[in-house]
Structure 1
Amino acid sequence: MLRTSTRRRITSRLLALAVLPAVVLPALAGCSDPGASAAGTTPETTAARNGVVYNTSPEQNRIRAEKNAALAAKVPAAVGKDGKLTVATTAGSIPLSFHATDDKTPIGVELDLAQLVADKLGLELDVQVTSWENWPLKTQSGDFEAVFSNVGINAARVKLFDFSSYRAAYMGFEAKKTSSYSVNGADDISGLTVSVGSGTNQEKILLAWNKELEAKGKAPATLQYYSSDADTILALSSGRTDLNIAPYPSVTYRENTRDDLKVVGKVNAGWPSETLVAATTLKGNGLAPAITDALNSAIKDGSYGKVLDRWGLSEEALPESKTVTEATFGAAQTGAAK
């Protein structure tokens, strides 16, 4: 039998656990992916202040397209032989690509656009979730045929990959709503703690800004790295970091669905030049031109616009998709949308 003192300790712990959810769950619910809660306990739609109602359920009822025989004929034999388009995505950032309320189905604008491309090319979409660090190597090895995961075109990547542009590329700075930060350049992050993803275009921006600050004799920003969006936003909302820099669609989503965060700055992902978000394929394998043509077909028939509208990203629409390779990279930068 338990002694009286032991029973008292257990009772105290149970009472503490019973009270804990009322204290922490509101904070966790606001910073985790929709699929982070147990199945059936998370709302399957989110109404945002920008008027968009986000469907976060596994049943997406995606906008689909018909096979275009002429486009399908352009698919390289090595890609089309199994009848699938194997697409990698990181599934870590709403509304780009993330897990649905079942905590396993990848959804978001990236997958919707990949679906349109696969449909146009007459291929079955095979989505593979991977980490940001792994997609380059696995695309080079042939495990992935294309990457749809908010990949920005840059000088280092065009040495290894070809691209088919499909969205404007911006990064946003976000902070607590009670803050007075406004970020327009390097001087505005001096001495602050900023969270950023490793190996990303936004990290390149911050590293360049820190060099600029050091050259001026000013304190650089402290860069903080986290393993997930949930950890990143929890750190921001709790005051452990001052700012977070992330894809603009994600920071605006949080501004429109939360009460504690706001957007405090916007910068092109290719700073100091300009860049675009693009489907990423292995350099020289011939798939990029087929994807570009499929995207342009979707732009022309309106299905591309419907997908962006669905996720509140119509302002990032491009009038045309272009194939960008190492040889055409300079010209593509000049023509990138502001």
Structure 2
Amino acid sequence: MLRTTSSTKKRKILALAVLPAVVLPVLAGCSDPGASAAQPESGAAKNGVVYNTSVEQNRIRGEKDAAAASAVPEAIAKDGKLTVATTAGSIPLSFHATDDKTPIGVEVDIAQLVADKLGLELDLQVTSWENWPLKTQSGDFEAVFSNVGINAARVKLFDFSTYRAAYMGFEAKKSSTYDIKGSDDISGLKISVGSGTNQEKILLAWNKELEAKGKAPATLQYYSSDADTILALSSGRTDLNLAPYPSVTYRENTRDDLKVVGKVNAGWPAETLVAATTLKGNGLAPAITDALNSTIKDGSYGKVLERWGLSEEAIPESKTVTEATFGTGK
């Protein structure tokens, strides 16, 4: 999962907010978690992963890393908690367990590891995609783990600690013959996408390319939930859906009617990564980066990604990205 007076300012921040899958293209993130997703049946999926969607997660846990813990700003460490926001709307990223209220998923597991490494209790808060930017700026949330992709608009408001590759996937009915590699391949098609997301930003840019060539652009369609989106796709009302790659591959591996027909970096035409998101300049990002690198080093990070079938999205090192370092490769 990528809108002034006091109202103006609020709308401006909201616009920046809508991303990793939904509202301002410039801030668009990587996913629009947002709607409830179907739960898998018991047993191993086609990729061999047994997805645990129960309340009893038996999470992989980490040991406190003294160096990382000492880097947490006192204002954040004093209550002994790390308050983390997630959107709980997209399997296997962040979603509700079988009780329909307990947030679980790879984002939650990584947040738990980071809290463990920092010697803090994880205080997990479920919020909407539209609300996390404002609430992070207000101090309600200390970090966001919800498939947020780094982009030029977001680094003006937040600092980041990278932890996963960021890709979007095109999915279609299994009977289709689509092979999506670029703008030419979507000409004239109906595609569902989250409003204000990175994926919407990509499709709008591809449509401009098509129009410049005199070709028919794709028709973008918007739905309020994952359930409505997938129903439209499976029933033939749309030709394609563009969503976070982990979610489309999950559906490919747990359903018989859908398949992945294309993959694009969430930062197209450049590249980006998924990252923990913190308030710009508050000093927390470097501590989270240290914690993530500690999990990479001790192997717990790899085990979490493997648990959710996302090993191919692993990165070798976490880095802190700020407005000053964005785009520099540092």
Q: TM-score, normalised by structure 1?
A: 0.85
Distance in structure 2 (CA, Å) of the matches to 1:99 and 1:242: 28
Structure 1 counterpart of 2:237, one-letter code:
R
Change (3 A) 1:46 1:129: farther
More helix by share: 1
Paired residues of 1:154 and 1:270 also in contact (CA < 8 A): yes
Structure number with higher relative contact order (C-alpha < 8 Å, ≥ 6 residues apart): 2
Q: 2:28 aligns to what?
A: none
Q: 1:23 aligns to what?
A: none
Paired residues of 1:34 and 1:101 also in contact (CA < 8 A): no
Q: Cα deviation per residue 1:78-108 (whole Å; 9 max; x = unaligned)?
A: 2112111111111111101111000000000
Equivalent of 2:243, from 246, 251, 259?
246
Distance in structure 1 (CA, Å) of the matches to 2:106 and 2:201: 25
How much does 1:32 deviate? Answer: 5.8
Q: 1:25 aligns to what?
A: none
Equivalent of 2:257, from 256, 260, 275?
260
Q: 1:221 aligns to what?
A: 218
Q: 2:54 aligns to what?
A: 57
Q: Cα deviation per residue 1:32-83 (whole Å; 9 max; x = unaligned)?
A: 6356xxxxxx85x452101111000011000001112222111111211211
How do residues 192-211 of structure 1 correspond to structure 2 at under 5 angstroms?
A: 192-211=189-208
Paired residues of 2:36 and 2:90 also in contact (CA < 8 A): no
- Taking only aligned residues, the RMSD between alpha carbons, in angstroms, comes to 1.4
Paired residues of 1:254 and 1:261 also in contact (CA < 8 A): yes
Counterpart check, 1:125 vs 2:129 = no
Paired residues of 2:85 and 2:141 also in contact (CA < 8 A): yes
Q: 1:291 aligns to what?
A: 288
Listed as ranges, the gaps of 5+ residues in structure 2 are: 1-34
Equivalent of 1:191, from 179, 188, 210?
188
Structure 1 counterpart of 2:182, one-letter code:
G
Paired residues of 1:91 and 1:99 also in contact (CA < 8 A): yes
Distance in structure 2 (CA, Å) of the matches to 1:135 and 1:242: 31
Residues paired across the two proteins, number: 296
Distance in structure 1 (CA, Å) of the matches to 2:302 and 2:136: 28
Change (3 A) 1:255 1:54: same
Structure 2 counterpart of 1:149, one-letter code:
S
Counterpart check, 1:70 vs 2:74 = no
Listed as ranges, the gaps of 5+ residues in structure 1 are: 1-30, 36-41
Change (3 A) 1:101 1:221: same
Q: 1:33 aligns to what?
A: 37
Paired residues of 2:46 and 2:253 also in contact (CA < 8 A): yes
Q: TM-score, normalised by structure 2?
A: 0.87
Q: 1:330 aligns to what?
A: 327
Distance in structure 2 (CA, Å) of the matches to 1:34 and 1:69: 40
Distance in structure 1 (CA, Å) of the matches to 2:116 and 2:43: 28
Distance in structure 1 (CA, Å) of the matches to 2:303 and 2:311: 8
Q: Cα deviation per residue 1:122-158 (whole Å; 9 max; x = unaligned)?
A: 1111111111111111111111111101111111111
Equivalent of 1:136, from 114, 133, 137?
133
Paired residues of 1:133 and 1:199 also in contact (CA < 8 A): no
The 3-state SS of whatever aligns with 1:253 is helix
Q: 1:313 aligns to what?
A: 310
- Runs (4+) of structure 1 exceeding 6 A deviation are none
The 3-state SS of whatever aligns with 1:309 is helix
How do residues 161-200 of structure 1 correspond to structure 2 at under 5 angstroms?
A: 161-200=158-197
